[in-house]
Structure 1
Amino acid sequence: MDTNKEAVEETDNTYVTYLQPGRMPLNAGDNSYGSAPGPGLSGSVGVSESVPLLVPEPVRQWQPMTKEELELTAGGPGWRKVRRYLVLLFWLSWVAMLATSIAIVVVSPRPVVTPLTWWQKSLFYQLQLDLYMEEHTEGSGNMNALCEQLPFLRSLGIGALILEGLFNKEASPLNFISTGKKFATLPQILHLLAESNKAGLKVVVDFCKLDLLRLQDVAGNADKPSNHSHALWFWLEQGVAGFAICDTDAAYSEKTLLEWRGILKEFSSQEEERIVVVKQMRDSLPPLNNGTLVDVVMKSILPSSRHVLSAKEVAAAIETHLQAREEVIWPSWTVEGKASHDLKKLLLVLTMTLPGSPAIQYDEISQTQNVSLKAGASHGEMTEPTDTDLDKEKMKHSAVALFTSLSRSRAREEALLYGTLTFLPFNFSTSPSNSTLASPSPAPILAFLRSWGCVHFLILLNVGPELHALAPAWAPSLPEAGVFVTSTGMDRLGSMTLKKLELQPHEAIVIKLFEAGSYS
């Protein structure tokens, strides 16, 4: 065996090579290589080869900082106190803001929902029964046609019928106007009442303009109930929801209404209360000592007139009602006066957006009839409809669509049911493209606001025949952005801004306003 063989020794995973005695070291000679200089020497000869070429750095073990080191790093003991104070200040501020928010919510006024009765939520439909019978087919079929329309009326949102023209002025409320061909009989009216109840429609019988005092006891005994009280009993037993009387009737008095109230109370319940409706024919309702005797006061927006009212007369009448103070008795608005055809839709929008229960006339909305073909005058022939018939049919469709839109908006929007009314003085400018040629006398134009909490509905009425745009300085406190709810032309859709809004002639617009970034 070769004694000069290199020996390899492994120590701590480091291989050290050395020569056994008797052998020449590898670094002998001047031109040696591979030697590692020792400390303090630079490449000297004879340095031991046992020194490792790479010396590993010592590994430091991690240790947590002491309290003194931590305080020194964080800035000293004073910084610890500052942090405590800042955390305490943050929580105190947060609690203060929370308490302030709660106090604002509790103290600030908020709308209180008052439970509404059925007549306060209902839409009244005034049906002149004698005129309806004259306009439609003769015989018993006309009453059947009316009964078939009841579900349609209910689908439009109508809640109650006011049956007018049932009695002659000389007749008793127990006897009908006539038994002729074009008038209803008692069995037909009872059938109508039964079908109305099936359709979910209340019925109010109109005694207006009847001489009820003539029906009093012939003996003149004031203590004995009048004969017309028996008529009330009869109709209430048939399911009638109430009665209407005019303030111009001779029987309109506190005594008569007290007698009515006593009878109605016996038939009333919490679910189905019977009511008294007073039609206001005068400028102001005659006062009563007991205000609880009347449930609804029906008013006309337009005054009675033999001629068609002009646009300025209509605007003056509307403004008078908008500026009037709120009445104690629940109002119901209708249109009895004469206005041009162009303003009928505008008045419909106004009636449906005023506080109270709208009362719609029969001719304002009616079930559309199929006029694509109509019966001929003889031999059962079918003739093509004329252009006039098609125009009337188109107007009926448009009126029904507008009424349906208003009815649905009123049913789902609290602002149109409970909201307060604020009349807005209207400052307007003429069409921007033609402002220099504007007439010095402005056309009648009106606006009002229905508000409930943070929700606002703006109703704009352009009664005049000219195009108008809103002035930039008009109602600066109102939100500028909004969304169209409906309009008389049924052509307003989507979002809008008041700065760019123009009102068409004889146009009414309903707008739901909202703040920027709000989606209420």
Structure 2
Amino acid sequence: MPLNADGDLGYGSVAAAGPGPGVPGLAGGNLGGGETVPLLLPEPVTAGRPSWKPLSKDELELTAGSPGWRKVRTRLVLLFWLTWLVMLGAAIAIIVQSPRPVAPPLKWWEKELFYRLQPALLMDTPQGAIGGFEVMRERLPYLKSLQVGALILEGVIPKTISASNLTQVSHDLGTMPQFRKLIGETHKEGMKILLDFCDLEVMNEEDSLNATEDLADSSGYIQYSLKYWLEQGISGFSICDTDAAYTEKTLEVWKSLLEEYSEKDNERILVVRETSDSYVVTNVSDGVNGSLVQLTVRSLLPPSAHPLPVPEVARAIEESLQAPRPDWSSWTVGGPVAPELQRIIMVVLMTLPGTPVVSDGEEVNPAQNTTVNAIGDEIYIQDEGKKWRSAIALFQSLSHTRSREEALLFGTFSFLPFNSSSLTSASAMPPLAFLRSWGCVHFLVLLNLGPEPHPLSPDWAPRLPTGGVFVTSTEMDRLGSVSLETLILKPREGIVIKLFEGGSFS
């Protein structure tokens, strides 16, 4: 049936069916019989209200370039940069005002590693076919690879020589021109040379009554000899606390002489080695201004003809760790060490505050008959026909770490005692530990000299950060990150760990 039944009605309209209620809003309220009703009624338009429509491209460009919008954009840009500058200034103020450690200026003798050796022991044959000076020149690259910064040479001047001949060198070692060449090669390698006068009779018996006056006399043989060596490029001298020259009056004269030849980057120094008692400061060191002696070398172990038992070694190290800390000192091993403890002793020596002084061969193992050879960048040790690659990796790791870490150079020192109740047996020795700190960087040194493994108790040091990374260990088998809560010390093991505070990984 077609929708448009009435030909008079258009499509989309409906005819009125007759009288009835109309559609509201239309005129008259009713639709007549001949009118149509639209299917979609338009919305009523409110008078006086403009209809919204988007801007065209031309209108948008015209509006954006108006003076009002230019002012708004300019003010927003200025507000952004002012806010950024205020935040930057606040950050700088916080950094400047926040407390931070100030690195103290160190002298060269406070930063360098000292190496004590006797050139006479380096000669190839007992007859001295190759002089010790020439052998030393060939060994300089090896010493440089160990980060050695200063050499203390023993036996260069014969002990039987008189006070008037202190400018002569031992003929068994070589000639004076060879020694001058050695000094020049050492300086090229960035190292310094000190002469050892310990146990050297710098005064003869006739002058023993007036020893101090002779040493203080600038025209005397002693002063002449010291000036001669300083002019040759020697960076200082080493004496013992038992020498006759170790008096306050003599040291004052020597100090003036050393200052006269000191340069900005090459201060001439005097080193005193304690030999009478490893744990008692001598009277002169206690009564003389510390500037008279730049370094006072103390021994970790008491003097002994034979290696000490392990308990005595542990006791001696603990006494050294608990001893009062001087402003600056130097440490050496001081006595023979059992082979199983040699590496642990070296860890202690290289991480204690002060300047380490290592004797020739201690970086390897003084108890073994070893020969050190350097081939390229690799170092080998030959012992009974066998070779071990990088056998001194521990020493190199310690020396390199010390040379670049502020915490090990001048950081604070804290001894960390262990609770003896945590030991597994009554005969076990408690481990030793100490902390070197600088700012937020902490180096933890753990030493287990006992024959049994030792786990770290969680409540041992609750204020320490529990996480870190291994720096080195006596067996060189500790790598990667570490948690103190799960760490177990092996027997006869020393470990160096760099601890991180919460969220810090620098």
User: Which residue of structure 2 lines up, in the alignment, with residue 419 of structure 1?
Assistant: 411
User: Which residue of structure 2 lines up, in the alignment, with residue 55 of structure 1?
Assistant: 41
| Closer/same/farther in 2, CA of residues 361 and 137 from structure 1, 3 Å limit | farther
User: Which residue of structure 1 lines up, in the alignment, with residue 114 of structure 2?
Assistant: 124
Query: Conserved in 2, the CA contact under 8 Å of 1:428 and 1:474?
Result: no
How far apart in 2 are the matches of 1:185 and 1:492? Answer: 48
Aligned pairs (5 A) from 1:358-507:
358-365=356-363, 368-369=372-373, 388-390=384-386, 393-394=387-388, 397-398=390-391, 400-427=392-419, 438-507=424-493
How far apart in 2 are the matches of 1:349 and 1:136? Answer: 34
Structure 2 counterpart of 1:344, which letter?
Q
| Closer/same/farther in 2, CA of residues 386 and 205 from structure 1, 3 Å limit | closer
Query: Conserved in 2, the CA contact under 8 Å of 1:462 and 1:505?
Result: yes
The alignment covers a number of residue pairs equal to 433
2:226 equivalent to 1:244: no
How far apart in 2 are the matches of 1:205 and 1:350? Answer: 26
CA RMSD in angstroms, aligned pairs only: 3.3
User: Which residue of structure 2 lines up, in the alignment, with residue 10 of structure 1?
Assistant: none
Structure 2 counterpart of 1:285, which letter?
T
Q: Percent identity?
A: 48
The one of 351, 354, 357 aligned to 1:353: 351
Structure 1 counterpart of 2:120, which letter?
D
How far apart in 2 are the matches of 1:256 and 1:282? Answer: 20
Query: Conserved in 2, the CA contact under 8 Å of 1:466 and 1:504?
Result: yes
User: Which residue of structure 2 lines up, in the alignment, with residue 316 of structure 1?
Assistant: 315
| Closer/same/farther in 2, CA of residues 55 and 254 from structure 1, 3 Å limit | same
How far apart in 2 are the matches of 1:218 and 1:516? Answer: 64
How far apart in 2 are the matches of 1:148 and 1:33? Answer: 117
| Closer/same/farther in 2, CA of residues 35 and 508 from structure 1, 3 Å limit | same
Q: Which moved more, 1:206-215 or 1:244-253?
A: 206-215
Structure number, greater radius of gyration: 1
User: Which residue of structure 2 lines up, in the alignment, with residue 285 of structure 1?
Assistant: 282
User: Which residue of structure 2 lines up, in the alignment, with residue 224 of structure 1?
Assistant: 217
> SS of the residue aligned with 1:212?
coil
Aligned pairs (5 A) from 1:248-287:
248-283=242-277, 284-286=281-283, 287=286
User: Which residue of structure 2 lines up, in the alignment, with residue 12 of structure 1?
Assistant: none
Structure 1 counterpart of 2:342, which letter?
K
* Deviation, structure 1 residue 444: 4.3
User: Which residue of structure 1 lines up, in the alignment, with residue 171 of structure 2?
Assistant: 179
Structure 1 residue runs without a partner (length 5+): 1-23, 64-94, 372-384
How far apart in 2 are the matches of 1:135 and 1:494? Answer: 46
| Closer/same/farther in 2, CA of residues 313 and 218 from structure 1, 3 Å limit | closer
> SS of the residue aligned with 2:203?
helix
| Closer/same/farther in 2, CA of residues 288 and 211 from structure 1, 3 Å limit | farther
| Closer/same/farther in 2, CA of residues 168 and 484 from structure 1, 3 Å limit | same
Structure 1 counterpart of 2:15, which letter?
S
* Deviation, structure 1 residue 460: 0.3
> SS of the residue aligned with 1:159?
strand
Structure 2 counterpart of 1:342, which letter?
E
How far apart in 2 are the matches of 1:231 and 1:188? Answer: 19
User: Which residue of structure 2 lines up, in the alignment, with residue 519 of structure 1?
Assistant: 505
User: Which residue of structure 2 lines up, in the alignment, with residue 197 of structure 1?
Assistant: 187
Structure 1 counterpart of 2:23, which letter?
P
* Deviation, structure 1 residue 245: 0.8
Query: Conserved in 2, the CA contact under 8 Å of 1:35 and 1:43?
Result: no
How far apart in 2 are the matches of 1:134 and 1:429? Answer: 54
Structure 2 residue runs without a partner (length 5+): 1-5, 53-85, 365-370, 376-380
| Closer/same/farther in 2, CA of residues 116 and 219 from structure 1, 3 Å limit | closer
Structure 2 counterpart of 1:117, which letter?
K
* Deviation, structure 1 residue 335: 0.7
The one of 149, 156, 164 aligned to 1:159: 149
| Closer/same/farther in 2, CA of residues 337 and 387 from structure 1, 3 Å limit | closer
User: Which residue of structure 1 lines up, in the alignment, with residue 123 of structure 2?
Assistant: 133
* Deviation, structure 1 residue 215: 8.2
How far apart in 2 are the matches of 1:35 and 1:290? Answer: 126
How far apart in 1 are the matches of 2:404 and 2:13? Answer: 101
Query: Conserved in 1, the CA contact under 8 Å of 2:13 and 2:38?
Result: no
Query: Conserved in 2, the CA contact under 8 Å of 1:303 and 1:317?
Result: yes
> SS of the residue aligned with 1:369?
strand
> SS of the residue aligned with 2:390?
helix
| Closer/same/farther in 2, CA of residues 36 and 503 from structure 1, 3 Å limit | farther
How far apart in 2 are the matches of 1:48 and 1:319? Answer: 117
* Deviation, structure 1 residue 494: 0.3
* Deviation, structure 1 residue 387: 7.0
How far apart in 2 are the matches of 1:141 and 1:36? Answer: 136
* Deviation, structure 1 residue 316: 1.1
CA deviation string 1:310-367 (max 9, x = no partner): 1111111111111112213x21111121220111111111111001111111112378
Structure 2 counterpart of 1:397, which letter?
S
Q: Which moved more, 1:281-290 or 1:492-501?
A: 281-290
What is the TM-score normalised by the length of structure 2? 0.77
* Deviation, structure 1 residue 157: 1.2
Q: Which moved more, 1:457-466 or 1:214-223?
A: 214-223
* Deviation, structure 1 residue 100: 12
2:14 equivalent to 1:34: yes
Query: Conserved in 2, the CA contact under 8 Å of 1:156 and 1:407?
Result: yes
* Deviation, structure 1 residue 130: 2.2
How far apart in 1 are the matches of 2:206 and 2:261? Answer: 23
User: Which residue of structure 2 lines up, in the alignment, with residue 71 of structure 1?
Assistant: none
